[in-house]
Amino acid sequence: MDRRSFLRLGVGGAALLAAQPVLGRDPALARPAPGPFGHGVASGDPRPDAVVLWTRVTPTDEATPGSGLGAATGVRWEVATDDAFTAVLRSGTVTTDPASDHTVKVDVDGLPSATDLWYRFAALGATSPVGRTRTMPASDADVESLRIGVVSCSNYEGGFFSAYRHVAARDDLDFVVHLGDYVYEYGQGAYGPGPGIGRLHDPATEMVTLSDYRRRHALYKTDPDLGALHRRYALITTIDDHEVTDNSWAAGANNHGAGEGDYVARRAAAMQAYFEWMPIRATGGAAEPTRIYRESSYGSLVDLFVLDQRTYRSEQVAGAQGDMLVTDPAVAAPERTLLGAEQRAWFEAGLDASVAPWKVVLNPVMFTPFVVADLPDLGGVANVLGGVLAGLGVSPPVVLNGDQWDGYRAEQLAFRDRFGQVGGVVLLTGDIHSTWASEVPADPGTYLPLVGGDTVAVEFVVPGITSDSLGSSLAGLFPGGELLADNFPAIISTVAPWFKYVDVERQGFGVFEVTADHAHHDWFYVSDRTDPNATAVDGPSFRSVAGSNKIVAAAKLGPRPAVAAAAPAAPASPAATPPIATLPATGRTLPLGAAAAAATAGLALVAARRATAPEETE
């Protein structure tokens, strides 16, 4: 079909409005672009022969998201191998209406594998912005490398989505994974600097109803930087808690009150809106139409497991501060589950059946153990933590965050052993608004600073796109929390030396690559989350040699060979990357390679770093 006939769908003879987004940085303009396609386009869950395409059509002014208003509307879609749509591969027409909030999802199949594709929609005489996507290689293809963007925790009121813009500007990725907290539930002014920078949630109150969740997703889809990301790359997404509400579990949530109705009904509304507004493929059938966990592969190189760690989990065990600083031995109860029985069995079977050298796990909450077993011999650094614990009447052993795998100890240990058996497991993690690079120890008790120990997997944790940093949270959580936050990396190096890098202050994103030889993770930070034009600066990089389950500091990735050949003008920066030690550091950043040194130097090391580093404003 040519361009003219493509545009003819809908109102015959109507003006052919090009609904390109014209959103400015002025937050007052954070509303849909004029025309039927003001919420942009997106693609997701690529397969070797298929990809999910998404848009939302607004047929009339009153047919706003969540309104339930507006007539059924036909929408044309096209997929081509060029951005001028001279070589259209597939096309069709679907009808949408208020039952799906006028969202459109098309699972287009019959596509060539490992191919760049362009797509667009048309309705009511208008065309959508053009999106670009890419199919996966054939499952048995011998591929050289996978390179993806890694993002999480994007609170609209937390700042501008500059990190998304910087991911979208890259030209070397296969797709982008979002590890959860794509939207946040809070009402205006409840979390983050939004009111001060004109980034205000819609609806103004906490989202609880189906209409609320639809409106909130719609607001996020008007953000120009998120729109750019969706137009450029397919996303593979999972959920964390805030897609429903804070610290959710199977039958409730920390942020679900008595006046907010039945929790399971609320989650159903949230998940309905999520599946309407996200480019995610429904794989659970009629029995579970909003099932999140699913599997993919990238040629013969990678098997990709997408986990849901909220919908089926046991309730968090109470700690001294919410679910933090947990001393209750109930965390180890064998019946406690993070994944639920069905997902756990599916994940176990998938790991066992995988013959790919790399098993990459989209793992919303941190797996690596983070338990303080003892304090007496830990010197000055531990005194900070000891002081905080003593002030709260808490004594070790203590789980620092019971919302993570540590709060589900039996299941954590079972998968620790399984990871060790299958090999090649890399966990990509979000949730905690901070940067962590770690080896997963086979036995924390025998893993020694400098010497190391047996390990079973590696984990890379990305900071939030905008959400408040872990450091700022720690500083406000406990009496003495500010001191704890300032010394946090040194404390970690003391009590958990398998963590090789920690930063609890910055926002940003990750770029992850695997080849037959290595798994590699680059971090990039945004200069200021409240600056709409924030720049991206280099963070740390770590690499794991295949078969090692260890990580070492590395230089930034260079251009991919195939990409470099196609786009020789792409900026190159591999060798120019400064070593980790010269990165600008805050008091809350510490490369942990010299863990033993940090353990002995303790506060003095941190103090020295703070004396030579610019202090960041919280």
Determine the Cα–Cα distance for residues 187 and 189; give it in Å rounded to an integer: 6
C-beta closer to Fe ion: residue 124 or 292: 292
C-beta separation of 406 from 399 below 8 A: yes
C-beta closer to Fe ion: residue 33 or 244: 244
Tell me how far, at minimum, the Cβ of 523 lies from Fe ion, in Å: 17
By CB under 5 A, residue 181 contacts Fe ion: yes
Amino acid in position 107? D
Tell me how far, at minimum, the Cβ of 61 lies from Fe ion, in Å: 34
Beta strands 518-526 and 499-503 are: unpaired
Stretch that binds Fe ion, among 2-10, 145-153, 171-179, 445-453 (CB under 5 A): 145-153
Residues forming beta bridges with residue 520, ordered by sequence position: 513, 543
Stretch that binds Fe ion, among 150-158, 251-259, 331-339, 575-583 (CB under 5 A): 150-158
Stretch that binds Fe ion, among 149-157, 209-217, 274-282, 551-559 (CB under 5 A): 149-157
For the record, the structure tokens of 539 come out as 């963070």
Tell me the number of residues near Fe ion by CB under 5 A: 3
C-beta closer to Fe ion: residue 237 or 467: 467
**b/e map of 84-119 (b: 16 or more CB within 10 Å)?**
ebeebbbbeebebeeebbbbbbbebeebebbeebbb
3-state secondary structure of 618: coil
Stretch that binds Fe ion, among 17-25, 147-155, 187-195, 574-582 (CB under 5 A): 147-155
Determine the Cα–Cα distance for residues 323 and 314; give it in Å rounded to an integer: 13
Tell me how far, at minimum, the Cβ of 310 lies from Fe ion, in Å: 12
Containing 379, the helix (H) or strand (E) segment is helix 379-391
C-beta separation of 385 from 486 below 8 A: no
Stretch that binds Fe ion, among 173-181, 491-499, 509-517, 569-577 (CB under 5 A): 173-181
C-beta closer to Fe ion: residue 101 or 243: 243
Site for Fe ion in 553-582 (CB under 5 A): none
For the record, the structure tokens of 404 come out as 């993570």
Beta strands 302-306 and 294-298 are: antiparallel
Tell me how far, at minimum, the Cβ of 255 lies from Fe ion, in Å: 12
Tell me how far, at minimum, the Cβ of 386 lies from Fe ion, in Å: 29
Tell me how far, at minimum, the Cβ of 119 lies from Fe ion, in Å: 30
C-beta closer to Fe ion: residue 46 or 464: 464
Tell me how far, at minimum, the Cβ of 151 lies from Fe ion, in Å: 11
Site for Fe ion in 297-356 (CB under 5 A): none
Tell me how far, at minimum, the Cβ of 4 lies from Fe ion, in Å: 46
- Residue 525's CB is within 10 A of a number of other CB atoms, namely 26
Q: Which of 428, 422, 319, 320 is nearest to 367 (CA)?
A: 428
For the record, the structure tokens of 138 come out as 């054939």
Q: Which of 386, 454, 390 is nearest to 416 (CA)?
A: 454
Stretch that binds Fe ion, among 134-142, 176-184, 331-339, 522-530 (CB under 5 A): 176-184
C-beta closer to Fe ion: residue 145 or 429: 429
DSSP category for residue 32: P
Tell me how far, at minimum, the Cβ of 498 lies from Fe ion, in Å: 23
Determine the Cα–Cα distance for residues 521 and 500; give it in Å rounded to an integer: 13
Site for Fe ion in 436-495 (CB under 5 A): 467
Is the bond into 614 cis (omega within 30 degrees of 0)?
no
User: Based on C-alpha coordinates, what's the Rg of the chain?
Assistant: 24
By CB under 5 A, residue 427 contacts Fe ion: no
By CB under 5 A, residue 365 contacts Fe ion: no
Is the bond into 397 cis (omega within 30 degrees of 0)?
yes
Give the max Cα distance, the chain.
80
Tell me how far, at minimum, the Cβ of 152 lies from Fe ion, in Å: 7
Tell me how far, at minimum, the Cβ of 423 lies from Fe ion, in Å: 30
C-beta closer to Fe ion: residue 181 or 406: 181
C-beta closer to Fe ion: residue 153 or 557: 153
- Residue 600's CB is within 10 A of a number of other CB atoms, namely 15
Stretch that binds Fe ion, among 92-100, 153-161, 195-203, 387-395 (CB under 5 A): 153-161
C-beta closer to Fe ion: residue 464 or 532: 464
C-beta closer to Fe ion: residue 145 or 467: 467
C-beta closer to Fe ion: residue 405 or 498: 405
Sign of CA dihedral 167, 170, 173, 175: positive
3-state secondary structure of 565: helix
Tell me how far, at minimum, the Cβ of 543 lies from Fe ion, in Å: 27
C-beta closer to Fe ion: residue 455 or 467: 467
For the record, the structure tokens of 491 come out as 């404390």
By CB under 5 A, residue 153 contacts Fe ion: yes
Q: Residues in the site for Fe ion, rule: CB under 5 A?
A: 153, 181, 467
